[in-house]
Chain A
Amino acid sequence: DQQVKQNSPSLSVQEGRISILNCDYTNSMFDYFLWYKKYPAEGPTFLISISSIKDKNEDGRFTVFLNKSAKHLSLHIVPSQPGDSAVYFCAASARNNNDMRFGAGTRLTVKP
């Protein structure tokens, strides 16, 4: 089941620079998208979300962009900080369906 794909298993960025994490989906019924951050030995922590009626949502250093025609979303973190180092999961759901699908995750390393 590959309805949500994160094709980059890892990403390394210098502190202060922009981190861009990408996610693609195949199910056109998805209309709500979320990013979660996960540290080792902890549960996924909600970061930011976007509804399909928007193409951008911003919260502090985090911005999520949604391109519905390309079925693509991205998470921008700027400026990146060492504490942002974690695994980032993209998730998607259809609001009439509680079944949220996760990507495989991208491990972000922010180097000081």
Chain B
Amino acid sequence: EPEVTQTPSHQVTQMGQEVILRCVPISNHLYFYWYRQILGQKVEFLVSFYNNEISEKSEIFDDQFSVERPDGSNFTLKIRSTKLEDSAMYFCASSDPDTQYFGPGTRLTVL
């Protein structure tokens, strides 16, 4: 069964460093998403992406965040200058387009 994959599973970085979180969506899906979940809190929407551009973004998705689909298979989330409060699980999802399927997540720890 096709699934969304994410790498790395755990990323540790220093505050102020740039990180890139990678996702491989399900191959025939056209809509892509990033969510995050701070420990003990709810899953929060960050951004959706369709037809090579951002279609929706939340207030969390500020100028330090960017997304890219650099080739036909990867979908990346870049955080330019990480802050302590960026520590969270980051989930990628893709959809067909109604139902979103999630990847296993990347745990980002900012020290």
Instruction: Give A contacts to B, CB under 8 Å.
Output: 32, 34, 36, 41-46, 49, 89, 95, 97-105
Contact = CB atoms under 8 A, between A and B. Distances in A.
Main secondary structure of the interface of B (DSSP, over half): strand
Nearest to A104: B42
12 contacts: A43-B103, A43-B104, A46-B101, A89-B42, A95-B98, A98-B56, A98-B97, A99-B45, A101-B45, A102-B44, A105-B42, A105-B43
B75 to A, nearest CB: 14
A44 B45 CA distance: 13
B48 A49 contact: no
B42 A98 contact: no
A104 B37 CA distance: 10
Given A41-B104, A89-B42, 17 more contacts: A32-B98, A41-B105, A42-B105, A43-B91, A44-B43, A44-B91, A46-B101, A49-B98, A49-B99, A97-B56, A99-B58, A100-B45, A101-B45, A102-B45, A103-B42, A104-B42, A105-B42
A41 to B, nearest CB: 8
A40 to B, nearest CB: 11
Q: Contact size class for B?
A: 20 to 34
B28 to A, nearest CB: 16
